[in-house]
Amino acid sequence: MIESSDMTSLAGKNAIVTGASSGIGAATARKLAAAGANVMLVARRRDRLEKLAAELGPAATTLELDLGGADAAQALLDAATSRFGKTDILINNAGILRTSHVDSFDLAELEPLITINYTTVVRTSLLFARQMKANGAGQIVNLSSIGASLTAAGTGVYGGLKAALERFTDVLRIELAGSGVRVGLIAPGTTTTEIFADMKQKGQPGWDEFIPPMVPDDIAKAVLFMCEQTGNANAARMHIYATSEGF
């Protein structure tokens, strides 16, 4: 249960966190709830969502949703409008990582990678941006990766999608300037989460095995900071590196 003394900076705000069943999403949900927000936890794994909701208490609600579905963005907006009426904060955190060289990339994984890491994020951002603009206020935070800035073998599709997401996010911020809607981008460095599970299952070392990585709470702190901005301030872009990373 979140202590009431922690409910301060985001008191009364309604927030959505995608990919909330583990990792950065779960850590972010904890931070937002601790700051006073009502949080909708969105992911596919109902059991994990319900466990986290029980931990967070009355401030949390859950939505079991496959963000790889064609209608996922609209379904999320409809659910949020039904439960909250007005959404103040949208955290597009959900993502998947697939890395392979040209000779071994599984083309069956291409469309899910595009949909979850880019298409659904764009659709969701646009739908909620329109609603937030009509309300005169809101905060959208899109999670990218430092992979968007790296050119390394095996990362062309993942890094390319993150780079495209960064361009979209920057333009969305510009288009919403003066509307009361803040848009921000957070690009984490190596953070130990389940995103590396697919690599490890295929016998590849996870990127978090090469250096001492960050933990999800490190990124969640940055998300909270972005959401706490007031007045004319908009924390538009944050890159969070592990101290041992030298990119």
C-alpha distances (whole Å) from 190 to each of 3, 206, 240, 242 are 30, 10, 9, 6
pLDDT tens by residue, the chain, 247 residues: 333 335 589 999 999 999 999 999 999 999 999 999 999 999 999 999 999 999 999 999 999 999 999 899 999 999 999 999 999 999 999 988 777 677 777 788 789 999 999 999 999 999 999 999 999 999 999 999 988 887 877 677 888 999 999 999 999 999 999 999 999 999 998 777 655 555 556 666 555 545 667 799 999 999 999 999 999 999 999 999 888 766 6
Query: What's the start-to-end Cα distance of the chain, in Å?
Result: 39
Paired residues of 14 in beta bridges: 38
Residue of 158, 168, 196, 207 marked catalytic: 158
118: annotated active-site residue: no
